[in-house]
Structure 1
Amino acid sequence: MAIRGVWITNTDSRVLHSRQNIAEAMAFLAQTGFNVVFPDVWNKGFTLYPSPIMRSLFDVEIDPRYQGRDPLAEIIVEARRVGIKVIPWFEYGFASSYNSDGGMILAKKPEWAARDINGNLLKKNGFEWMNALDPQVQEFMLDLMLEVVRNYDIDGVQGDDRLPALPCEGGYDASTIEHYRQSFHCYPPSNPKESQWLQWRANILTNFLARLYQEVKAINSDLLVSMSPNIYDWGLKEYLQDSKAWLERGLVDIIHPQIYRRDFASYKQVVDRVTQQLNREQLAKLSPGILIKLGSYRISAEHLRQAISYNRSRGISGEVFFFYEGLREDQDVLGKVLRSLPYNNYSGHPANSNSNRRIQSFFRFLQNRF
């Protein structure tokens, strides 16, 4: 059986506004055929759960919008009530803010800032970044994720195109420069995409993921480590995300590359490329991210049907949708499309593999879910 997943955001969405909204959303998803939710728990420098770590470091234990509540705990209760798994999603990863000059995190910890070749705060596509190559920053992010693992009844944790990641233009802070100089007896090149410099930094992030994977499994070996990176190898060249190495080293249990294309022909082309890069065991871990809504864009019903059908024809047995509100627009039109498949029984041609015990256990749950 396969993942039928959806991301729950706190942007352009009302789901997290109240416990009642959360309960209604979980009931809708269960009725539609979904079996996993990926709720946002880390956004713009704030957690969406009360965090002792954030309180001790920054005197703010939760996003002020949710003061007095615990949206993550509420989601877990309501999802469990209808048989849905919960994998918290650390959306912002190593990004500290969006068009906010580093936000609260870097105002308090300026030494955590990532730097470009000119020594400026690293910014790309509106996001300002912490230095993901810095051991203290890595420790902070690891502690946040393990805090959730230890304190909540969850089924895994998820990173994405910002975790582990760093724009390739970063790494020009004094500490990283010196580390590179000691390794290669020369300074980093001015070209941020020079192959040795690029791969060296990507390897640091891969090793961070290896540590995260080991630490999560040490707490509970049945928890899943889920990643939703940019598509390989664009993600490697632009954000130091070597997802090929992640799979080869067994550092992810399920992977959701963001195949965010707004027409079916482009989606099909990327799916072909991605599946050709994977062996059978790796293919069993694949559930692509599909864009169904962003701003004024919403996927057409026909494109949605085509994408799911094509996934099955390529041996892909599941997917994750970005994001929930796209299912509900125009009186749930896309949700009704999925029910008409019917989505919960639309298994097509799932890939066979010798997946590890954790994934098999998870898939057994999904099978029992319906």
Structure 2
Amino acid sequence: MKKRFLTAVLALLLPAATMAQELRATWLTRTKYSSRAAIAQQMDSLASANFNTVYVNVWSRGYPLFQSTSFFQQTGLRTDPTYADRDILAEAIAEGHRVGLRVEAWFEYGFVAGWTGNLAPGAVRGPILDVHPDWTATKLSGQQLDPASNFYWMAQSNPAAQNFLISLATEISRRYDVDGIQLDRIRYASLDYGYDPFTVGLYRQEHNGAAPPTAGNDAAWMRWRADKINAFHARVYDSIKAVNPRLIVSNAPSQYGSSTYTAYNQYLQDWKWWVDNNKVDNVQVQSYASTQAVYDGYITYAKNLVNDPTKVYPSFAVSPGSSVVLTNQQLVSYLDLARSKGFLGSAIWFVDDLAGRFRYLSRTRFATPATAPFAPADWRTFRTLVPITDAANAVRSGTWLTSNNPGYSGPSLYADNTAGNALDYFLTVPADAWYEVYAYQVVSSNRNAAAPFQVTDATGAATTVTVDQTRVGNAGFVKLGDFYLRAGRQRVVRLSADNTPAGRFVSADAVLLVRNRRLDGRAAPLSTRKSRKATGSQLQAFPNPSPGTFSVRAETALTAVRVTDQLGRVVFEQPVRLAAGAAYTVQLRTALPTGQYVVQARQASGQWLSANVQLSR
């Protein structure tokens, strides 16, 4: 535990300006999601080996691995039942940002919406396809299951299926402080697919009633299907950027040849078009190469394929074949080869196969830290942590006892409900900004189910957030909310034993601040306004839920109001001249479906305020 704490402290103190620029990335799969502690340990390993980016699986086997409102509206489920009420993405963000890693939400399964190895009792294809069987990708024979993978795919040209994927991506963009969205499997399972009723009907509509060719490798038929995926990629890119233009939108396409465009020829995945038309920020081109010579051919072809090769980052499998595993020396030689050809870094597939290799990498190829070339050097350096052992900044009042239950970097503390038992956390805030505030929770059956954490923002306003310290799922860093803080040392969090029931105790441990980059550019709270909690807003919208007509109010003058749906599309927009504190009425079209919308209001300064509105008819 002490080593983990020292690693985090060193990462906090290292000047970003001294770092080289090179993408050093890998993929974190669900095999590492057994607990928060397992996720934290993996992030520690990556940071200690000087990786800078991790792609965290958030769409897997037909389920989101975050608490998704979009998925709930379609299926009645919020996440993969394997993880119950956990939010894997939120946990990964907390632990990744704690050690300075960039965290991108990785949609591993893409258009794959079901897997026979993960079907619930009574399920046929998977949650979303059982609700919408007409979305299922189909062969000419009528077969739907892909026998090579045991996957069920969504029909790639179906706009309803496309909109579903876009809604998941924009939901993450809107709610989570991720550094990017990585798409994957935005392709066909094989050339044999494309014969579902919707796709056939769409093809007939665009070809004077003619049916699509029966040969899956027909050149015009291939081009038509690939163009539909390209149009989708453009839409999802634009939708994500409309919600948060700072997010990096990447993709992990494939390249398995040195003289042929294998992604297109085998899967109708025209990633060259995405790069050349600026509908992706960068691509991590995956390949399985058992020798350096083969890898050289793959990445040389990829470099020459696109107009701007700086957007291309080669990635390779550590285990490229059933009986082939790269040695540590080969791994480094692959990284060096890519660098020698002008690529600005690489990604390695995947974190499980890197086990036991982190020390070697940190002593050789990754001996010094580096930042991602497409991100500011200080992007994830604005963070600070106070462990419970730091008596100067975790100031105790009353009687606190050392617990046998371990905390973040050693034993945790606990106290009963005796009056005066409290802990004040003083943190040195790196810069004026919005921050995610976390408190490390040590849970036990005899702890307070509503431990009161009071957070004080830059205006002096205090917000109390209660945490259930009996709930196993809360073990580790729990987010208390988003708060605007001023630079300098100040008391940010106070934990009190007040209202702890007799016979129970309150646990105390570390507190962490991480700059919230999603909220960069949002106005600081006014002196009379309380800071927003994790689900709060600077803009008032009422009534909420709304039947279609609602009012908005802000404490500053407004010049425009607009409303967007979950795909980032503007459904209402109006210039206004509204004085501070005045209300403005929004009338949404009655044809709009029920669901969550985002209302935004532009201040005279040009900055936008936003709030979520639930449309309920």
Q: Would you call these one fold, judging by a TM-score over 0.5?
A: yes
Q: Which residue of structure 2 aligns with residue 272 of structure 1?
A: 300
Letter in 2 for 1:71: I
The SS at the match of 1:87 is strand
For residues 319-334 of structure 1, what are the structure 2 equivalents within 5 Å? 319-328=346-355, 332=356, 334=357
- Distance of aligned partners of 1:259 and 1:34 in 2 relative to their CA distance in 1, 3 Å threshold: same
Unaligned runs of 5+ in 2: 1-20, 118-123, 383-617
More RCO (CA 8 Å, sep 6+): 1
Residue 288 in structure 1 maps to residue 308 in structure 2: no
Q: Which residue of structure 1 aligns with residue 471 of structure 2?
A: none
- Distance of aligned partners of 1:292 and 1:255 in 2 relative to their CA distance in 1, 3 Å threshold: same
Confirm or deny: 8 A CA contact 1:51 1:61 kept in the other structure.
yes
Q: Which residue of structure 2 aligns with residue 6 of structure 1?
A: 26
Confirm or deny: 8 A CA contact 1:164 1:206 kept in the other structure.
no
RMSD of aligned C-alpha atoms? 2.3
Residue 176 in structure 1 maps to residue 199 in structure 2: yes
Number of equivalent positions: 349
Q: Which residue of structure 2 aligns with residue 351 of structure 1?
A: none
Q: Which residue of structure 1 aligns with residue 172 of structure 2?
A: 148
TM-score by length of 2: 0.54
The SS at the match of 1:364 is coil
Q: Which residue of structure 2 aligns with residue 350 of structure 1?
A: none
- Distance in structure 2 (CA, Å) of the matches to 1:226 and 1:269: 23
Shift of 1:363: 4.9
Shift of 1:327: 1.6
Task: Tell me the percent identity.
Answer: 32
Q: Deviations over 1:308-355 (max 9, x none)?
A: 110011001211111112121xxx2x21231122415498xxxxxxxx
User: Which of the pair is proportionally richer in strand?
Assistant: 2
Residue 364 in structure 1 maps to residue 364 in structure 2: no
Confirm or deny: 8 A CA contact 1:8 1:37 kept in the other structure.
yes
Unaligned runs of 5+ in 1: 348-358
The SS at the match of 1:315 is coil
Confirm or deny: 8 A CA contact 1:113 1:131 kept in the other structure.
yes
- Distance in structure 2 (CA, Å) of the matches to 1:143 and 1:164: 18
For residues 150-165 of structure 1, what are the structure 2 equivalents within 5 Å? 150-160=174-184, 162-165=185-188
Between 260-269 and 311-320, the greater mean CA deviation after superposition: 260-269
- Distance in structure 2 (CA, Å) of the matches to 1:259 and 1:366: 29
The SS at the match of 1:169 is coil
Q: 2:331 aligns with which of 289, 294, 304?
A: 304
The SS at the match of 2:286 is coil
Letter in 1 for 2:91: E
Structure showing greater Rg: 2
Shift of 1:120: 1.8
The SS at the match of 2:22 is coil
- Distance in structure 2 (CA, Å) of the matches to 1:271 and 1:319: 11
Q: Which residue of structure 1 aligns with residue 53 of structure 2?
A: 36
- Distance in structure 1 (CA, Å) of the matches to 2:360 and 2:291: 17
Q: Deviations over 1:212-257 (max 9, x none)?
A: 1111111111111010012272111222111111111011111011
Confirm or deny: 8 A CA contact 1:122 1:169 kept in the other structure.
no
- Distance in structure 2 (CA, Å) of the matches to 1:45 and 1:365: 36
- Distance in structure 2 (CA, Å) of the matches to 1:158 and 1:196: 29
Residue 136 in structure 1 maps to residue 160 in structure 2: yes
Residue 315 in structure 1 maps to residue 342 in structure 2: yes
Q: Which residue of structure 2 aligns with residue 51 of structure 1?
A: 68
Shift of 1:143: 0.5
- Distance of aligned partners of 1:244 and 1:269 in 2 relative to their CA distance in 1, 3 Å threshold: same
Q: Deviations over 1:129-186 (max 9, x none)?
A: 11111011001111111111111001110112x1254532111122212221222232
- Distance in structure 2 (CA, Å) of the matches to 1:298 and 1:47: 31
The SS at the match of 1:89 is strand
